[in-house]
Each structure stands twice: as structure tokens, then as C-alpha cells.
Amino acid sequence: MAFEGSISAEELASIQETIPQEVLLTATQEYVIFHVIETPYKNLTMKCQFPLQYPSSPLLFELETKTLPERVKRKLVDKCEQEAEQLADKGQPQVLALWTFLSTLLQSNQLLLCTEHISDIKSRLLTGPHDSLKLSERNGTVTVRVEEAGFVVDFTVKVPRGYPGEQLELRCREATYPPAVTHMFFKQAEEVARRASKGIPLNVSLRESDPAKPSEEVVQLSISQYKHDVKFLKVAGELARMSDDKQMRREKKVLDKREWEREQQQATQVAQTAARSAPTGIPKAHRDGGEPVPALYAVVEYIVNKFARLLPHEKCAHCKQPVIDAIKKGEKQADPAERAFCGHWFHSSCLEHVMTKPPFGMQCPGDGCDSRVFHPKWTSDVKTLERRWAAAQARQREVDDARDFLGL
Ligand SMILES: [Zn+2]
Ligand SMILES: [Zn+2]
């Protein structure tokens, strides 16, 4: 029988001396079982038995792992078989050699857990003729370069030792995209990485990673407020037109007062909503998270597909011109790109125009968009906008009057 052999008392002694007690499960002359545990996410178990001619024949082993990808496991098995055969040719003991090989490899190769994500990144994301991928297994870095329509982004994702329980680190090495936009997308990708390490599912993080997107509840509030505002302005306008009438003036006063009270209520409600969704804006069910999620592919995909590939082709929804220009290192874009809540892009000046000039509460001019334009930097409150506009107009009238007065 093949398994009837055994190791020498001397080899057994050196195994017991070298492999730490807590990972040496069984150690007899007939049977040796040990764990190699690098992290909770990177470990394996090795079971060794011995043929009669051992150590002149290679030992027989079984390698088990629930954490390493199948293709990594197959590679490890091949390597161990080769190693055992080489030692058998020289008639040398093999168990410790395999233990050393496996523990060194798990310790020094930081990309073992990422093989599938890396091959997907290569085949699905880096499809351009000038795209490239550089890997360092020792440092655990994945360096991606993407060129799209004359734009370049070059960034490194570092896979830390405790991945996926420890968060991926992102570093932008070079980008010819506007710095503010680049910064925004990298921050969002980092947030996806952070949440994944806390066990929050990728689809939840990605849905929430829209930079200009307020939380669902705040949008609902804004929309209901918008509807109310339109009604208010209509009624107030009618009353104002009839303001010669004493009764009407009184009614308008009551209406204004009620409106003021409602505004106070609404402000409280918005503050409460914001407090409820703080600090992360993650639905409560996901806030605690489960097992860490491997996020390498998702993070790279976010930067490549949602940012690098898309933005050079994005047109301003207002003026229909490209929303970004390639810029030289250290330069700032004169008219920065801004993304509205609906996902459409605008030049900052174009969005300023859309948001602050009547008609207020305008529908987004983007193709096929039936959403109202929202952006966190501009108020969407129709009443505030009306007031500001009216004040600006009044100032202008006064200036005009003053000019007339002086006859200039
Ligand atoms: Zn524009
Ligand atoms: Zn839109």
C-alpha cells in the first residue's frame, strides 16, 4: 500500500520544533497535518502521508482551502508536487520544505486573493490599445493606465495584507482630467472600497456613490416642497394682484404667516432627515455590514467605466459642448464640470445660468431627461430663487432710475 510508509523520528522532531504548536494539528510518523494561516482571508490546510520508499519517493498530500481561488490552489498543488519530487530525487525530507514554501508564499504574495479580479480587469476593462496593467505581487499593487479620447488616468490600487477585511488604498499617479472631477471620483471609489471592507454589499455602495446625489428622503422632501411652492406662488400672486382690496391684503398676510410656519416645520424635518441618514447615508439594514467584500474589480471598474471612459464624451446639457477639456499638469479648468442629481453634466457657468435665471424649477435640458435640475451647490427652492431674482431686478430698476434722475 502506498501510505504504509513513515517519516523518521528525526524528521518528526524537526517538524514539531519548527511548525508552531497552534497550527500543527497532527504530527505522527505516519500522518502530518498543518495549517498555514496568513490572515482570516488567506489560509490553507495540508495533510501529508508517506509511501513506503519515503523519502526517496515524493510524499502524498492533500491541500484544502476555503479562502484561496481555485486557480491559485491548483498552482500551489503543482508547485508542491514539483518540490516534493525534486527532494525525493535527492532522498531528502519533504514536509518542512513544503511548509516553508507555503507559508512564505502566502506571506509574500499580496495578490493571491485577487487573481480572478485581475484577469477580469484585463479582459473586460482594459480594452483600449494604449491601456495597460502593471502588477507587483510582492507590494500588492495593481497599476492601471487608461487612455480615452486624448485623456489619461494612471492610478494604483494597493491590496493590503488584511484584504478584504482591510481597505484597498487608491492613489492617482497621473490624470489629465480636471483635478476637481478626478478628486471627486477617486473619493467615491475610496468610499466603495471602505464600505466593502466593512461588509456593505457593492450594489448598495455603488448605488449611493453618485457624487451629486442627495439621499432619497431629501429628494422626496424637495419635490413635495417644490409642488407646494408652485401652488403658494400662484395663490400669493393672485392675492397680490387684488391687493387694493383690504380683505385680500389681510388674507395674504395670513397666507404669508402660514407659509412662514410651514417653512420652519420643513426646516426641522430636513434637519431630522439629515440626522437620521448621517453619517454614512447607508440604509439602516446595511449600516452594520456582514463579511468583508472583495472590491478590487468594482473599484477599478468604477474609475475606468464611470469616469475615465465616460467623461471625455459627456456634453454639457445646457450648451451641448464637451463638458471637460484635457488640461496640462497643475492647471485648473476655467469652467469646472458639475453633475446634477439626474446624472447630466453641466459647465459650472451653464448650471449657474439654469439655476439662477427664470423660469425657476426648470426641467433638466439633458436629452430625454424629465427630472428637475438639482445640485447641492445651488438652492432648488423656487421661492428663494424668485425672491433673489426680484431683488436683483429691483436693484437694477433703482440703478436705471438713478441714471434717469441724473440724466446720464
Ligand atoms: Zn455648457
Ligand atoms: Zn438631466
Rounded distance, CA 310 to CA 148, Å? 9
Nearest listed ligand to the Cα of residue 349: 1
Calculate what percentage of the chain has a pLDDT beyond 90: 53
pLDDT, one tens digit per residue, over 335-350 is 788 888 888 999 989 9
pLDDT at 286: 46
Quote the CA–CA distance of 327 and 69 in Å, as a whole number.
42
Cα-to-centroid distance, 112 and ligand 1 (Å): 46
Q: How far is the CA of 344 from the centre of ligand 2 (A)?
A: 5
* pLDDT range class, residue 378, cuts 50, 70, 90: confident
Of 49-58, 121-130, 155-164, 362-371, least confident by mean pLDDT is: 362-371
Summarize pLDDT for 70-119 with one digit per residue, the tens: 999 999 999 999 999 999 999 999 999 999 999 999 999 999 999 999 99
Q: How far is the CA of 347 from the centre of ligand 1 (A)?
A: 4
Residues 17-26 have a mean pLDDT of 96
**Which ligand is located closest to the Cα atom of residue 322?**
1
Beta carbons of 209 and 302 less than 8 angstroms apart: yes
Looking at residue 309, its pLDDT comes to 94
- State yes or no: pLDDT of 257 exceeds 60: yes
The Cα 203–Cα 224 span in angstroms is 28
pLDDT digits (tens, 9 = 90+) for 271-318: 555 444 444 444 444 445 689 999 999 999 999 999 999 999 999 999
Distance from the alpha carbon of residue 342 to the mean position of ligand 2, in angstroms: 5
Q: Is 355 strand, coil or helix? A: helix
CA 177 to mean position of chain CA atoms = 18
Ligand 2 centre to CA of 301 (Å) is: 23
ipTM of the complex: 0.96
In this predicted model, which residue has the larger pLDDT, 69 or 388? 69
* Strands of the sheet with 141-148, listed across from one edge: 132-136, 141-148, 151-158, 169-175
User: Relative to the alpha carbon of 362, which ligand is closest?
Assistant: 2
Of 118-127, 199-208, 384-393, the range with the highest mean pLDDT is 118-127
User: What is the per-residue pLDDT for 369?
Assistant: 86
| Alpha helices in 38-94, H assignment, sequence order | 70-89
Q: Is the pLDDT of residue 227 over 80?
A: no
Report the percent of the chain where pLDDT is more than 70: 74
Q: What is the CA(370)–ligand 2 centre distance, in A?
A: 7
Q: How far is the CA of 226 from the centre of ligand 2 (A)?
A: 17
pLDDT level of residue 356 (50, 70, 90 thresholds): confident
CA distance 366 to 214: 19
Sign of the Cα pseudo-torsion (38, 39, 41, 47, in order): positive
The β-bridge partners of 61 are 48
Instruction: Dihedral sign for Cα 327, 330, 333, 334, please.
Output: negative
Q: Whole-angstrom Cα distance, residue 167 to residue 293?
A: 10
Longest dimension (CA), the chain: 117
pLDDT classification of 330: cutoffs 50, 70, 90? low
CA of 115 from ligand 1 middle (Å) equals 43
Which cell numbers in the block locate residue 106? 502566502
> From the CA of 208, how far away is ligand 1's center (Å)?
26
Going by the DSSP 8-state scheme, the letter that residue 110 receives in this structure is T
Ion ligand 2: residue ranges with CB closer than 5 A: 342, 344, 364, 366, 369
Which range among 91-100, 388-397, 399-408 shows the weakest confidence by mean pLDDT? 399-408
Residue 178 grid coordinates: 480636471
Q: What is the DSSP string of 114-181?
A: GHHHHHHIIIII--STT-EEEEETTTTEEEEEEEETTEEEEEEEE--TTTTTSPPEEEEEEE-S-HHH
| Mean pLDDT (whole number) for 113-138 | 95
